[in-house]
Amino acid sequence: MDVKTYYSPIYSTYNDKGFMPKLFFNALLINLFSLITILMNSSVCYITIKYRKKYTALRSNTSILLVIYSIFEILLNTMIFFYLATSTTGINFLPNWLSKIYIFYVIIVFNTSNFIFLLISIDRLVGVTLPILYNNMKQKKYIIVNILLITLYNIFIFFIGILPVCEKYGSFRIPGNPMDIAIIISSTGQIRNVIPLIIYIITLLNYLFVGIITKFVTDLHHATVKKLHRSLYLIVFVNICSCLIFYLVAILLVGFSIESGINEEIWFILSYSTIIYCFGSASNAPILFINSTDYREAYLKEFALIKSFFKRIFNNSVTPSNVNAVANIQN
Protein backbone atom coordinates (compact mmCIF):
# COMPACT_ATOMS: atom_id res chain seq x y z
CA MET A 1 0.00 0.00 0.00
CA ASP A 2 1.23 3.49 -0.89
CA VAL A 3 1.80 5.40 2.36
CA LYS A 4 1.02 9.09 2.04
CA THR A 5 1.67 12.26 3.98
CA TYR A 6 -1.38 14.11 5.27
CA TYR A 7 -1.21 17.86 4.81
CA SER A 8 -3.66 20.09 6.62
CA PRO A 9 -5.78 22.20 4.22
CA ILE A 10 -4.01 25.30 5.56
CA TYR A 11 -0.49 23.89 5.18
CA SER A 12 0.43 25.68 1.95
CA THR A 13 -0.77 29.03 3.33
CA TYR A 14 0.80 28.94 6.79
CA ASN A 15 3.90 26.74 6.44
CA ASP A 16 7.17 28.58 7.15
CA LYS A 17 5.31 31.90 7.40
CA GLY A 18 6.04 32.63 11.07
CA PHE A 19 3.46 34.22 13.34
CA MET A 20 0.08 34.56 11.58
CA PRO A 21 -2.61 36.65 13.37
CA LYS A 22 -5.55 34.83 11.74
CA LEU A 23 -4.30 31.43 12.89
CA PHE A 24 -3.38 32.76 16.34
CA PHE A 25 -6.81 34.34 16.91
CA ASN A 26 -8.51 31.09 15.91
CA ALA A 27 -6.33 29.11 18.32
CA LEU A 28 -6.76 31.68 21.11
CA LEU A 29 -10.56 31.71 20.91
CA ILE A 30 -10.84 27.91 20.84
CA ASN A 31 -8.42 27.59 23.74
CA LEU A 32 -10.37 30.09 25.84
CA PHE A 33 -13.47 27.92 25.51
CA SER A 34 -11.37 24.81 26.15
CA LEU A 35 -10.01 26.41 29.32
CA ILE A 36 -13.56 27.09 30.55
CA THR A 37 -14.45 23.47 29.77
CA ILE A 38 -11.43 22.25 31.74
CA LEU A 39 -12.29 24.44 34.74
CA MET A 40 -15.95 23.38 34.77
CA ASN A 41 -15.16 19.67 34.52
CA SER A 42 -12.37 19.98 37.08
CA SER A 43 -14.86 21.49 39.52
CA VAL A 44 -17.22 18.52 39.03
CA CYS A 45 -14.37 16.11 39.82
CA TYR A 46 -13.18 18.12 42.82
CA ILE A 47 -16.62 18.65 44.36
CA THR A 48 -17.72 15.04 43.84
CA ILE A 49 -14.54 13.58 45.34
CA LYS A 50 -14.33 15.99 48.28
CA TYR A 51 -18.00 15.91 49.34
CA ARG A 52 -19.07 12.42 48.23
CA LYS A 53 -19.24 11.14 51.83
CA LYS A 54 -21.50 14.01 52.91
CA TYR A 55 -24.16 13.94 50.19
CA THR A 56 -26.18 11.04 48.79
CA ALA A 57 -26.18 12.22 45.17
CA LEU A 58 -22.40 12.65 45.11
CA ARG A 59 -21.63 9.08 46.15
CA SER A 60 -23.93 7.43 43.62
CA ASN A 61 -22.67 5.25 40.77
CA THR A 62 -23.86 7.85 38.29
CA SER A 63 -21.80 10.60 39.91
CA ILE A 64 -18.68 8.45 39.66
CA LEU A 65 -19.35 7.92 35.95
CA LEU A 66 -19.80 11.69 35.60
CA VAL A 67 -16.38 12.16 37.21
CA ILE A 68 -14.82 9.70 34.74
CA TYR A 69 -16.53 11.55 31.88
CA SER A 70 -15.24 14.90 33.19
CA ILE A 71 -11.70 13.51 33.42
CA PHE A 72 -11.77 12.51 29.75
CA GLU A 73 -13.16 15.92 28.76
CA ILE A 74 -10.27 17.53 30.65
CA LEU A 75 -7.80 15.26 28.87
CA LEU A 76 -9.36 16.04 25.49
CA ASN A 77 -9.41 19.81 25.89
CA THR A 78 -5.90 19.95 27.36
CA MET A 79 -4.43 18.75 24.06
CA ILE A 80 -5.88 21.75 22.21
CA PHE A 81 -3.23 23.91 23.92
CA PHE A 82 -0.75 22.46 21.42
CA TYR A 83 -2.62 24.41 18.75
CA LEU A 84 -2.15 27.65 20.68
CA ALA A 85 1.52 26.85 21.23
CA THR A 86 2.26 26.28 17.54
CA SER A 87 0.39 29.39 16.38
CA THR A 88 1.90 31.62 19.10
CA THR A 89 5.49 30.59 18.41
CA GLY A 90 5.05 30.82 14.65
CA ILE A 91 5.95 27.15 14.15
CA ASN A 92 2.32 26.63 13.04
CA PHE A 93 2.64 22.85 12.62
CA LEU A 94 3.51 20.01 14.98
CA PRO A 95 6.52 17.79 14.30
CA ASN A 96 5.61 14.43 12.79
CA TRP A 97 6.32 12.35 15.92
CA LEU A 98 4.12 14.60 18.05
CA SER A 99 1.39 14.64 15.38
CA LYS A 100 1.15 10.84 15.56
CA ILE A 101 0.81 10.90 19.35
CA TYR A 102 -1.72 13.74 19.11
CA ILE A 103 -3.92 11.90 16.58
CA PHE A 104 -3.85 8.63 18.54
CA TYR A 105 -4.62 10.47 21.78
CA VAL A 106 -7.51 12.59 20.47
CA ILE A 107 -9.24 9.71 18.65
CA ILE A 108 -9.17 7.54 21.79
CA VAL A 109 -10.17 10.26 24.27
CA PHE A 110 -12.94 11.76 22.10
CA ASN A 111 -14.57 8.39 21.44
CA THR A 112 -14.18 7.34 25.07
CA SER A 113 -15.92 10.52 26.21
CA ASN A 114 -18.88 9.75 23.93
CA PHE A 115 -18.99 6.13 25.07
CA ILE A 116 -19.13 7.14 28.74
CA PHE A 117 -22.28 9.13 27.99
CA LEU A 118 -23.77 5.92 26.63
CA LEU A 119 -22.73 4.10 29.82
CA ILE A 120 -24.38 6.79 31.96
CA SER A 121 -27.62 6.38 30.00
CA ILE A 122 -27.46 2.59 30.49
CA ASP A 123 -26.77 3.19 34.19
CA ARG A 124 -29.96 5.23 34.52
CA LEU A 125 -31.97 2.74 32.46
CA VAL A 126 -30.90 -0.16 34.68
CA GLY A 127 -31.48 1.99 37.77
CA VAL A 128 -35.15 2.64 36.96
CA THR A 129 -36.02 -0.73 35.39
CA LEU A 130 -34.20 -2.98 37.89
CA PRO A 131 -33.94 -0.85 41.05
CA ILE A 132 -33.44 -3.74 43.49
CA LEU A 133 -30.64 -5.27 41.43
CA TYR A 134 -29.08 -1.86 40.82
CA ASN A 135 -29.13 -0.81 44.49
CA ASN A 136 -27.58 -4.12 45.59
CA MET A 137 -24.63 -3.83 43.22
CA LYS A 138 -21.22 -3.45 44.82
CA GLN A 139 -20.01 -0.05 43.72
CA LYS A 140 -16.37 -1.10 43.33
CA LYS A 141 -17.27 -4.04 41.08
CA TYR A 142 -19.74 -1.88 39.16
CA ILE A 143 -17.07 0.72 38.36
CA ILE A 144 -14.57 -2.00 37.41
CA VAL A 145 -17.10 -3.42 34.93
CA ASN A 146 -17.58 0.03 33.38
CA ILE A 147 -13.82 0.58 33.13
CA LEU A 148 -13.52 -2.83 31.45
CA LEU A 149 -16.22 -1.85 28.93
CA ILE A 150 -14.38 1.41 28.23
CA THR A 151 -11.15 -0.53 27.66
CA LEU A 152 -12.84 -2.96 25.25
CA TYR A 153 -14.40 -0.05 23.36
CA ASN A 154 -10.98 1.60 23.07
CA ILE A 155 -9.58 -1.60 21.57
CA PHE A 156 -12.44 -1.53 19.06
CA ILE A 157 -11.70 2.13 18.21
CA PHE A 158 -8.01 1.29 17.81
CA PHE A 159 -8.74 -1.33 15.15
CA ILE A 160 -11.51 0.50 13.31
CA GLY A 161 -10.28 4.09 13.67
CA ILE A 162 -6.55 4.30 14.32
CA LEU A 163 -5.11 1.39 12.31
CA PRO A 164 -6.70 2.55 8.99
CA VAL A 165 -5.15 5.99 9.56
CA CYS A 166 -1.72 4.44 10.21
CA GLU A 167 -2.04 2.26 7.11
CA LYS A 168 -2.88 5.20 4.84
CA TYR A 169 -0.59 7.91 6.24
CA GLY A 170 3.03 7.66 7.29
CA SER A 171 3.45 11.28 8.33
CA PHE A 172 1.28 14.27 9.19
CA ARG A 173 1.52 18.04 8.94
CA ILE A 174 -1.15 19.40 11.28
CA PRO A 175 -1.30 22.55 13.46
CA GLY A 176 -2.83 20.79 16.48
CA ASN A 177 -6.45 21.60 15.70
CA PRO A 178 -8.67 18.52 16.30
CA MET A 179 -10.71 19.21 13.14
CA ASP A 180 -7.82 17.88 11.07
CA ILE A 181 -8.40 14.51 12.73
CA ALA A 182 -12.02 14.49 11.53
CA ILE A 183 -10.74 15.11 8.01
CA ILE A 184 -8.12 12.36 8.34
CA ILE A 185 -10.68 9.81 9.56
CA SER A 186 -13.12 10.79 6.80
CA SER A 187 -10.43 10.22 4.19
CA THR A 188 -10.08 6.59 5.34
CA GLY A 189 -13.80 5.87 4.93
CA GLN A 190 -17.00 7.76 5.77
CA ILE A 191 -18.44 4.77 7.67
CA ARG A 192 -16.08 5.45 10.59
CA ASN A 193 -17.70 8.82 11.17
CA VAL A 194 -21.05 7.11 11.80
CA ILE A 195 -19.86 5.57 15.10
CA PRO A 196 -20.36 8.74 17.21
CA LEU A 197 -23.79 9.27 15.62
CA ILE A 198 -24.84 5.74 16.63
CA ILE A 199 -23.65 6.42 20.18
CA TYR A 200 -25.66 9.67 20.34
CA ILE A 201 -28.86 8.05 19.03
CA ILE A 202 -28.68 5.07 21.44
CA THR A 203 -27.98 7.44 24.35
CA LEU A 204 -31.00 9.61 23.51
CA LEU A 205 -33.25 6.55 23.13
CA ASN A 206 -32.12 5.22 26.51
CA TYR A 207 -33.00 8.51 28.18
CA LEU A 208 -36.33 8.58 26.38
CA PHE A 209 -37.13 5.19 27.92
CA VAL A 210 -35.90 6.39 31.32
CA GLY A 211 -38.13 9.47 31.11
CA ILE A 212 -41.19 7.36 30.28
CA ILE A 213 -40.48 4.82 33.03
CA THR A 214 -39.88 7.42 35.74
CA LYS A 215 -43.40 8.73 35.20
CA PHE A 216 -44.75 5.46 36.58
CA VAL A 217 -42.17 4.55 39.24
CA THR A 218 -43.14 5.88 42.67
CA ASP A 219 -39.65 5.24 44.12
CA LEU A 220 -38.34 8.15 42.08
CA HIS A 221 -40.73 10.72 43.52
CA HIS A 222 -38.22 11.67 46.24
CA ALA A 223 -37.19 15.29 45.68
CA THR A 224 -33.42 14.66 45.77
CA VAL A 225 -33.62 11.75 43.33
CA LYS A 226 -35.92 13.66 40.98
CA LYS A 227 -33.57 16.64 40.92
CA LEU A 228 -30.59 14.41 40.18
CA HIS A 229 -32.52 12.81 37.31
CA ARG A 230 -33.50 16.24 36.01
CA SER A 231 -29.86 17.32 36.11
CA LEU A 232 -28.82 14.23 34.17
CA TYR A 233 -31.53 14.83 31.56
CA LEU A 234 -30.36 18.40 31.06
CA ILE A 235 -26.69 17.39 30.94
CA VAL A 236 -27.42 14.75 28.33
CA PHE A 237 -29.73 17.05 26.35
CA VAL A 238 -27.26 19.94 26.24
CA ASN A 239 -24.22 17.74 25.62
CA ILE A 240 -25.80 15.49 23.02
CA CYS A 241 -27.41 18.43 21.19
CA SER A 242 -24.13 20.35 21.10
CA CYS A 243 -22.29 17.20 19.99
CA LEU A 244 -24.88 16.53 17.29
CA ILE A 245 -24.70 20.10 15.97
CA PHE A 246 -20.90 19.99 16.00
CA TYR A 247 -20.91 16.51 14.47
CA LEU A 248 -23.38 17.36 11.70
CA VAL A 249 -21.59 20.60 10.80
CA ALA A 250 -18.24 18.84 10.71
CA ILE A 251 -19.33 15.69 8.91
CA LEU A 252 -21.52 17.46 6.35
CA LEU A 253 -18.81 19.96 5.46
CA VAL A 254 -16.10 17.30 5.40
CA GLY A 255 -18.31 14.83 3.54
CA PHE A 256 -19.22 17.25 0.76
CA SER A 257 -15.70 18.65 0.47
CA ILE A 258 -13.50 15.57 0.88
CA GLU A 259 -13.53 14.70 -2.81
CA SER A 260 -13.06 18.20 -4.21
CA GLY A 261 -10.71 19.21 -1.42
CA ILE A 262 -11.23 21.22 1.75
CA ASN A 263 -10.11 24.79 1.33
CA GLU A 264 -8.87 27.22 3.96
CA GLU A 265 -12.27 28.88 4.52
CA ILE A 266 -14.05 25.57 5.20
CA TRP A 267 -11.21 24.52 7.51
CA PHE A 268 -11.67 27.66 9.63
CA ILE A 269 -15.46 27.14 9.75
CA LEU A 270 -14.86 23.59 10.95
CA SER A 271 -12.36 24.88 13.47
CA TYR A 272 -14.74 27.43 14.98
CA SER A 273 -17.47 24.77 15.21
CA THR A 274 -15.49 23.11 18.02
CA ILE A 275 -16.73 25.95 20.24
CA ILE A 276 -20.19 24.35 20.08
CA TYR A 277 -18.72 21.12 21.43
CA CYS A 278 -16.90 23.01 24.20
CA PHE A 279 -20.16 24.72 25.20
CA GLY A 280 -21.85 21.37 25.77
CA SER A 281 -18.88 19.88 27.59
CA ALA A 282 -18.67 22.85 29.97
CA SER A 283 -22.38 22.74 30.88
CA ASN A 284 -22.13 19.90 33.42
CA ALA A 285 -21.11 22.01 36.40
CA PRO A 286 -23.71 24.82 35.94
CA ILE A 287 -26.51 22.27 35.38
CA LEU A 288 -25.58 20.30 38.50
CA PHE A 289 -25.35 23.52 40.52
CA ILE A 290 -28.76 24.75 39.39
CA ASN A 291 -30.75 21.50 39.50
CA SER A 292 -29.15 19.25 42.14
CA THR A 293 -29.64 20.29 45.78
CA ASP A 294 -26.69 18.20 46.98
CA TYR A 295 -24.30 19.53 44.36
CA ARG A 296 -25.47 23.11 44.94
CA GLU A 297 -24.87 22.85 48.70
CA ALA A 298 -21.42 21.35 48.08
CA TYR A 299 -20.52 24.11 45.61
CA LEU A 300 -21.77 26.82 47.99
CA LYS A 301 -19.64 25.39 50.80
CA GLU A 302 -16.61 25.47 48.55
CA PHE A 303 -17.39 29.04 47.44
CA ALA A 304 -17.57 30.04 51.11
CA LEU A 305 -14.15 28.46 51.77
CA ILE A 306 -12.64 30.25 48.77
CA LYS A 307 -14.18 33.54 49.90
CA SER A 308 -12.82 33.18 53.44
CA PHE A 309 -9.39 32.22 52.04
CA PHE A 310 -9.11 35.38 49.96
CA LYS A 311 -10.55 37.43 52.81
CA ARG A 312 -7.78 36.21 55.12
CA ILE A 313 -5.14 36.99 52.50
CA PHE A 314 -6.56 40.48 51.98
CA ASN A 315 -6.77 41.18 55.72
CA ASN A 316 -3.20 39.98 56.28
CA SER A 317 -1.90 42.15 53.46
CA VAL A 318 -3.38 45.30 55.00
CA THR A 319 -1.25 46.25 58.00
CA PRO A 320 -2.55 49.13 60.08
CA SER A 321 -0.13 51.97 60.60
CA ASN A 322 0.12 53.71 63.97
CA VAL A 323 -0.26 57.44 63.66
CA ASN A 324 1.27 59.38 66.53
CA ALA A 325 -0.41 62.68 67.12
CA VAL A 326 2.02 65.47 67.71
CA ALA A 327 0.68 68.50 69.51
CA ASN A 328 1.93 71.85 68.35
CA ILE A 329 2.38 74.10 71.34
CA GLN A 330 2.86 77.68 70.53
CA ASN A 331 4.39 79.87 73.17
* DSSP states along 85-108: HHHHHT--S--HHHHHHHHHHHHH
Distance of CA 248 to the CA centre of its chain: 18
Section 213-223 average pLDDT:
59
Segment 171-207, tens digit of pLDDT: 999 999 988 888 888 788 766 667 888 888 888 888 7
User: What pLDDT, on a 0 to 100 scale, did the predictor assign at position 329?
Assistant: 47
Which residue(s) pair with 5 in the sheet? 171
Q: Which amino acid is at 25?
A: F
Distance CA 44, CA 235 (A): 13
Considering just the CA atoms, what is the radius of gyration of the chain in Å? 25
Query: How confident is the model at residue 217, as a pLDDT?
Result: 59
Task: Find, among 226, 233, 206, 225, the residue nearest to 125 by Cα.
Answer: 206
Residue from 307, 225, 295 nearest 54 by CA: 295
Mean pLDDT for all residues in the chain: 83
Question: Residue 331 has what pLDDT?
Answer: 43
Q: pLDDT tens digits, residue range 94-146?
A: 999 999 999 999 999 999 998 998 998 898 888 888 888 888 888 899 999 99
For residues 123 and 117, give the distance between their C-alpha atoms in angstroms, rounded to a whole number: 10
Domains within the chain, CATH numbers bracketed: 4-312 (1.20.1070.10)
Please check whether residue 61 is in contact with residue 114, taking contact to mean a CB–CB distance below 8 angstroms: no
Q: What does pTM read for this prediction?
A: 0.85
In this model, does residue 305 exceed pLDDT 80?
yes
